[in-house]
C-alpha cells in the first residue's frame, strides 16, 4: 500500500505543478499548506446563535442573508447585531428599503440611533448603490439591508400597472 500511495502522491504533485503553470501558483493546493485566517465576528446578541454559527457571531467581511417568514424576527436579529457592533465601538449602517425603521424599538434594543447611519432609498438600485458605497468606504463595520424583498427595481416603480415585465 505504501508504494501505491507514493505513486499517487507523485502523480498528484506532477498534476498540481502542471496546474500551477497553467493557472497560476496556488490555484490548487493542499488545505494544510494554506495559512489559517482567523475570522472576526460580531456577536448576534444571542449566545446560543453565536455558538451555532461556530465563530461567535456574524463573521465580518461576509455577506449573510437571514431568511424566514414574515414577522419571524429577522429585523430584530439584525438590530441586536447592530447594538453589539456599536457596544464594541463599531460603526453600523441600516439601509431601510422597507421604510419601516422604528427608532424607539431600536433604542430599546440598545442601538445608539444618533450614531446609526441610515438610508431609506427610493428603489432597489439606489439601495444597492448606497450599500456598495458604504462597504467600499471601509468605515462601516456592519451593514444591514432590510429587506431583500423590498428592493423593488426602479423600472417597476416607475412603470405603468399594465406594463409587462420579463423575469
Query: Going by C-beta distance under 8 Å and a sequence separation of 6 or more, which residues neighbour residue 148?
Result: 65
The residue extents of the domains of the chain are 2-33, 41-155
The per-residue pLDDT for 57 is: 93
Estimate to the nearest angstrom the gap between the alpha carbon of 86 and the chain centroid: 17
CB 90 within 8 A of CB 82: no
Q: What is the pTM of this model?
A: 0.73
Per-residue pLDDT of the chain (167 residues; tens, 9 = 90+): 588 999 999 999 999 999 999 999 888 888 888 888 888 999 988 899 999 999 999 998 888 889 999 999 999 999 999 999 999 999 999 999 999 999 999 999 999 999 999 999 999 999 999 999 999 999 999 999 998 878 787 787 777 555 555 55
Estimate to the nearest angstrom the gap between the alpha carbon of 158 and the chain centroid: 29
The per-residue pLDDT for 52 is: 94
The per-residue pLDDT for 164 is: 56
Alpha helix stretches (DSSP H) within 24-159: 47-53, 74-87, 103-108, 124-137, 154-158
Fold of 41-155: Rossmann fold (3.40.50)
d(CA 109, CA 76): 8
CB 84 within 8 A of CB 45: yes
d(CA 44, CA 58): 7
Provide the 3-class DSSP secondary structure of residue 34: coil
Amino acid at each position: 500500500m505504501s508504494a501505491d500511495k507514493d505513486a499517487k502522491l507523485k502523480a498528484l504533485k506532477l498534476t498540481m505543478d502542471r496546474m500551477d503553470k497553467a493557472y497560476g501558483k496556488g490555484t490548487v493546493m493542499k488545505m494544510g499548506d494554506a495559512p489559517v485566517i482567523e475570522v472576526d465576528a460580531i456577536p448576534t446578541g444571542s449566545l446560543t446563535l453565536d455558538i451555532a454559527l461556530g465563530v461567535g457571531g456574524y463573521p465580518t467581511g461576509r455577506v449573510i442573508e437571514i431568511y424566514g417568514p414574515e414577522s419571524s424576527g429577522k429585523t430584530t436579529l439584525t438590530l441586536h447585531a447592530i447594538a453589539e457592533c456599536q457596544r464594541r465601538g463599531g460603526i453600523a449602517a441600516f439601509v431601510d428599503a422597507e421604510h419601516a425603521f422604528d427608532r424607539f424599538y431600536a433604542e430599546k434594543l440598545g442601538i445608539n440611533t444618533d450614531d446609526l447611519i441610515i438610508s431609506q432609498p427610493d428603489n432597489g438600485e439606489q439601495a444597492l448603490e448606497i450599500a456598495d458605497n458604504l462597504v467600499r468606504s471601509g468605515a462601516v463595520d456592519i451593514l444591514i439591508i432590510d429587506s431583500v424583498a423590498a428592493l423593488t427595481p426602479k423600472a417597476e416603480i416607475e412603470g405603468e400597472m399594465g406594463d409587462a415585465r420579463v423575469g
